[in-house]
Structure 1
Amino acid sequence: MAWYETGAGTVLLRLHVQPGAKRTEVVGLHGDALKLRLAAPPVDGKANARLIAWLADLFGVPQRQVMIKSGLSSRQKVVVIDGSAYDPASLLGTGEATAQR
């Protein structure tokens, strides 16, 4: 199983999220998921909000087009992004996927 799927204008990402990091960045693969560190605490939905904002910025879409399909209270998440032409494969090995915000 791949960590992402594309089709019909959507991107589905399987993520392993580590909240509470110093900065938001892609770490690499973690099993069949892409591991991300998030610069947000795992309380009151802050990590999920940060994840949505970061992915929306990265994929060049409004936040309303980024949806956490499963895993709201888990480190294992499935996220769907609508309307982006960004290639998710470029998240691995580019350094561009690090956000200092």
Structure 2
Amino acid sequence: MNLPLNLEMDGTAILLPVRAQPRSSKNGIEGVHAGRLKVCVTQVPEKGKANKALLKVIQSGLKLKRSQIELYKGETASLKIFRIREISREELYTRISAAINPSR
């Protein structure tokens, strides 16, 4: 599985780069663009609403527990980094592939 995604390690956690697309027509993981996971949310980017929605979309799309994921960097930017724990890099790649290509 070789997605063009720049996953870095931070100790035992994985840093997942995300391009947020707020005010989208639907919530979902759209694919990989420029080395980042593109995630769309319908929420507007105010008072952290879009960040909460992003967290939920990534969490459910990648079948993660709430305790496994946190926003690490980019609270007010569209380019964000999420920190994901208790999962191997290979398993994360597998789940991202499944989320991007649900028919497989």
Shorter-chain TM-score tier: 0.7 to 0.9
Looking at secondary structure, tell me which structure has more helix per residue. Answer: 2
Which 4+ runs in 1 deviate beyond 6 A? none
Aligned pairs, how many? 96
1:4-57 C-alpha deviation (Å, 9 max, x unpaired) = 246875332111110111211222222121211112111111110011122222
Give aligned-pair identity as a percent.
Answer: 20
Pairing partner for 1:16 from 16, 19, 28: 19
TM score, norm. by length of structure 2: 0.71
The whole-number CA distance in structure 2 between the counterparts of 1:61 and 1:28 is 18
The root-mean-square deviation of aligned C-alpha atoms, in Å, is: 2.6
Looking at secondary structure, tell me which structure has more strand per residue. Answer: 1
The whole-number CA distance in structure 2 between the counterparts of 1:60 and 1:90 is 8
Residues 20 and 39 of structure 2 are in contact (CA less than 8 Å); yes or no, is this contact kept in structure 1? Answer: yes
The whole-number CA distance in structure 1 between the counterparts of 2:93 and 2:79 is 18
- Flag structure 2 segments of 5+ consecutive residues without an equivalent: none
TM score, norm. by length of structure 1: 0.73
Query: Against the structure 1 CA distance between its residues 43 and 16, is the aligned structure 2 distance closer, same or farther, given a 3 Å change threshold?
Result: same
The whole-number CA distance in structure 1 between the counterparts of 2:54 and 2:93 is 15
Residues 29 and 61 of structure 2 are in contact (CA less than 8 Å); yes or no, is this contact kept in structure 1? Answer: no
- Flag structure 1 segments of 5+ consecutive residues without an equivalent: 97-101
